[in-house]
A and B are shown apart, each in its own frame.
Chain A
């Protein structure tokens, strides 16, 4: 063991002994952070499950007003963004700076497309009076309160997901800037790796949201 702490670099902070130890620690830390995110979303998933089970008919009806085509398109967009993210990480492993930058830009663009489509969808909800509040109205049921519950959860969950997407785009911009500056090398690219983990996580949340919100009881339509 070194008796004195070594000179600090990005790849080897002073509290670590080796770069491998640091990378291990960062990766474990990121996974634990994602675990906290699962618990964060978990409370809302639990509420959705409970209310869906208690009010199956109204929730089925409310759910069938969502446009599954738009949802599917957005799912495809997100899956593509995860693919470009993987390619960015691969580029980083190989130390190809321009490749990394290209794919980070593509990831950001796809993320923004997702948010744009989502915004369009939310805007439709306003026009259809499906936004919880005084002017809320859903055709075909007398149980307006319960129907509103569905849309409350819909907005809470997709809204929180969208917030995570915005943060994700911010992280990608930061990584793009740092890559442009030449901070990362084939030996040290942990932040890109961790950014990738985050991006995939946000993607996976949507993979659960899409069927839960859009697809159950599709046959009722």
Chain B
């Protein structure tokens, strides 16, 4: 490996020059990079809010900011991280880039709609940022009525409008993926030859398409209620605030699977590639994605256990919530079975995959705690829920996102990242993550409520541990920013298939040509057939 200049072969990066060639591109690969830059900025912004929250919680009495400011901080942390980072993250970047390549297509079915979806995210994000600059919003990311409609004196409407617009971005991405998977597969690419990444994105797209419009309608109603005071959610006029919660969680619970299903798709690719074995029980893993998408729509009521929902509804929702654990556990067990007797290499993406499996398991098991009616009454609205959620979202989704970034970086840029630094940062992120969020399980179990700006002195030790962990985590996230930039210029040239992976995206040049393949591939075998891999495997130590 050397650091020679990139070969001057035409690829998607050098096919056009200038800002206009990027801002008006219809190439799914370039749009994926536009998304990558955009959501990285949102990730940083959400991280700033998280930092301020953690610094504030260093002391029990809240010296850094007023309680009003604190309310805005956790609201904007949630809004930015969920709607503008996690929801688009893996689908809009890696799904966009690799889903067409994995099924042997030249592009998504609707390239112009793909570009429109990026602009919608940018416009939605701009509205949300405007709201933050103008004075912020303090309702929590859940916008519960009647606070959001009648009492909050902050920028609820601008924020909701931003989320509304960004929602259409998500819908259009999902729509594009579904049509692409149905209509754009290369000759021989049958449904059961598709990589599991594609299956996971298909299931995700179904949720995006079916769930997001309900959120959009709900936000329209919140808008009407706030502006015209028409009483839809106002008990004084016969309305019902719990109905808002039903509508909100009908989207926002499945939305959790929009965030984690693509991560699971990434995991299947990573675990298989770095143990050089086909994913154990391919079909079961594929169907488990679909099962999660379907079951995900039937469990929203577990967010309303203490909201005055009927006990019987609570019992049904609790029962159904336990069901989600089955397909999730199938995935974890099957990845583990894939590792068994595999030829395992400990490259950085695999370290993130290991991180995901362990942390997602903790997050998933604590999910069963909060799905149980009795325990939930004790831990609801405490840091226990916060920790559970972050184990799934940060320990799960973001671990997979980082794994995906390292795994596909050589394909996207043609350059390898520095393996030693990357491993170090993966380790730091893992340690920092656990130090940040494990104490929160204990805090929550002991009764520390979430969204509080002050707390009793006895909780301080655990809060300080958590803040210390967050600082470590921040270092871990900053390191890749530096070495990825470095690798763009100085990284070793990657070659077409540095990992010896099986996906079609590895059977073409790095970076790929504009139409992905010099010749549309004809698929003759299953995914993950390592006897077919062509191209040398790079030594990674």
Contact mask for chain B residues 207-220; partner A; CB cutoff 8 A; 1 contact, 0 none:
00111111011101
Q: Please, which residues of chain B bring their CB within 8 A of the CB of A139?
A: none
Interface size on B, as a range, is: 35 or more
Which chain B residues border A14 with CB–CB below 8 Å? 106-107, 515
Residue among A13, A24, A41 with most chain B CB within 10 A: A13
A145 and B105 contacting across the interface, CB-CB below 8 Å: no
Contact B213 A29 (CB under 8 A): no
B358 within 8 A of A: no
Interface residues of B in 214-243 (CB under 8 A from A): 214, 216-218, 220-221, 224, 228-232, 236-240, 243
Residues of B within 8 A of A152 (CB): 224, 230-232
Complex interface: chain B residues within 8 A of A46 (CB) = 247
Q: Please give, as numbers and ranges, the residues of chain B lying within 8 Å of A143 by CB-CB distance.
A: 238
Q: For chain A, which range describes its interface: under 10, 10 to 19, 20 to 34, or 35 or more residues?
A: 35 or more
| Beta-carbon contact of A33 and B108 below 8 Å | no
Q: Does A183 contact B (CB under 8 A)?
A: no
- Min Cβ gap B169→A in Å is 13
The residues of A that contact B217 with a CB separation of less than 8 Å are 39-44
B-side contacts of A160, CB under 8 Å:
220
Check B231 against A145 for contact (C-beta < 8 Å).
yes
Partner of A3, one of B210, B243, B518: B518
Within the complex, which residue of A13, A29, A44, A146 is in contact with B237, where a contact is CB–CB below 8 Å? A146
Contacting residues, chain A, for B218 (C-beta < 8 A): 43
- Chain B residues touching A, majority SS: helix
Return the contact of A1 from the options B111, B178, B187, B210 (Cβ within 8 A).
B187
Q: In chain A, what residue has the closest Cβ to B171?
A: A36
Q: Is A94 an interface residue (CB 8 A)?
A: no
Contact residues in A for B232 (Cβ distance below 8 Å) = 47, 149, 152-153, 156
B71 to chain A, nearest CB (A): 27
Enumerate chain B residues within 8 angstroms of A36, measured Cβ to Cβ: 171, 175, 209-210, 212-213
Alpha-carbon separation in the docked complex, A145 to B240 (Å): 12
Q: Are B243 and A29 in contact (CB under 8 A)?
A: no
Distance between Cα atoms of A40 and B216 in the complex (Å): 7
Q: Is the CB of B519 closer than 8 A to any CB of chain A?
A: yes
What string of 1s and 0s marks CB contacts (under 8 Å) between B160-177 and chain A?
Answer: 000000000001000110
Chain B residues near A153 (CB-CB < 8 A): 232
- Most A CB atoms within 10 A — which of B109, B182, B211, B520? B109
Q: Flag if B236 contacts A145 (CB, 8 Å).
A: yes
Kindly state whether residue A72 has any CB partner on chain B within 8 Å. no
Q: Chain B 496-517 against A: per-residue CB contact (8 Å), 1 yes, 0 no?
A: 0000000000000000000100
Given the interface pairs A29-B179, A36-B212, A43-B247, the reply to whether A148 lies near B109 with Cβ below 8 Å is no
B116 within 8 A of A: no
B329 close to A (CB within 8 Å): no
Instruction: Report if A21-B224 is in contact (Cβ < 8 Å); known contacts: A29-B175, A41-B217, A132-B231.
Output: no
Contact of A1 with B214 at beta-carbon distance under 8 Å, contacts A15-B109, A36-B209, A132-B228 already known: no
> Given the complex, which residues of A lie within 8 Å of B518, measured CB to CB?
3
A37 contacts partner chain B, Cβ-Cβ < 8 Å: yes
- How far, in whole Å, are A70 and B213 apart by their CA atoms in the complex? 30
Chain A residue contacts of B110, Cβ below 8 A:
25, 29
Query: A21 and B214: CB pair below 8 A?
Result: no
Check: B184 CB closer than 8 A to any chain A CB. Answer: yes
Check if A43 sits within 8 Å of B209, measured CB to CB: no
B183 at the interface (CB under 8 A from A): yes
Residue contact A133 to B183, C-beta cutoff 8 Å? no
Inter-subunit contact B211/A25 (CB<8 Å): no
Looking across the interface, which residue of chain A has its beta carbon closest to that of B178?
A32
Considering residues A37, A42, A47, which has the most beta carbons from chain B within 10 angstroms of its beta carbon?
Answer: A47
Task: Give residues of chain A (1-58) contacting chain B, Cβ–Cβ below 8 Å.
Answer: 1-5, 13-17, 21, 24-25, 28-29, 32-33, 35-37, 39-44, 46-47, 50-51, 54-55
Which residue of B113, B183, B220, B519 is within 8 Å of A28 (Cβ)? Answer: B183
For A44, what are the chain B residues with a Cβ–Cβ distance below 8 Å? 217, 221
In the assembled complex, how far is the CB of residue B145 from the closest CB belonging to chain A, in whole angstroms? Answer: 13
Contact of B175 among A3, A15, A33 (CB under 8 A): A33
Is B522 at the interface (CB under 8 A from chain A)?
Answer: yes
The interface centre, meaning the residue of B210, B228, B230, B250 with most chain A CB atoms within 10 A of its CB, is B230
Question: A122: shortest Cβ distance to chain B, in Å?
Answer: 14
Task: Tell whether, in the assembled complex, residue A21 and residue B210 are in contact, meaning their CB atoms are under 8 Å apart.
Answer: no
Residues of A within 8 A of B106 (CB): 5, 14-15
Q: In whole angstroms, what is the CA distance A221 to B184 when docked?
A: 56
List the B side residues contacting A148 at CB < 8 Å: 230-231, 237-238
How far is it, in angstroms, between the C-alpha of A131 and the C-alpha of B259 when the chains are bound? 41
A-B pairs with lowest CB-CB distance, top 10: A145-B237, A43-B217, A40-B213, A15-B107, A146-B238, A152-B230, A39-B213, A1-B520, A25-B183, A132-B230
Binding site for A on B (CB under 8 A): 105-111, 113, 171, 175-176, 178-180, 182-184, 187, 209-214, 216-218, 220-221, 224, 228-232, 236-240, 243, 247, 250, 515, 518-520, 522
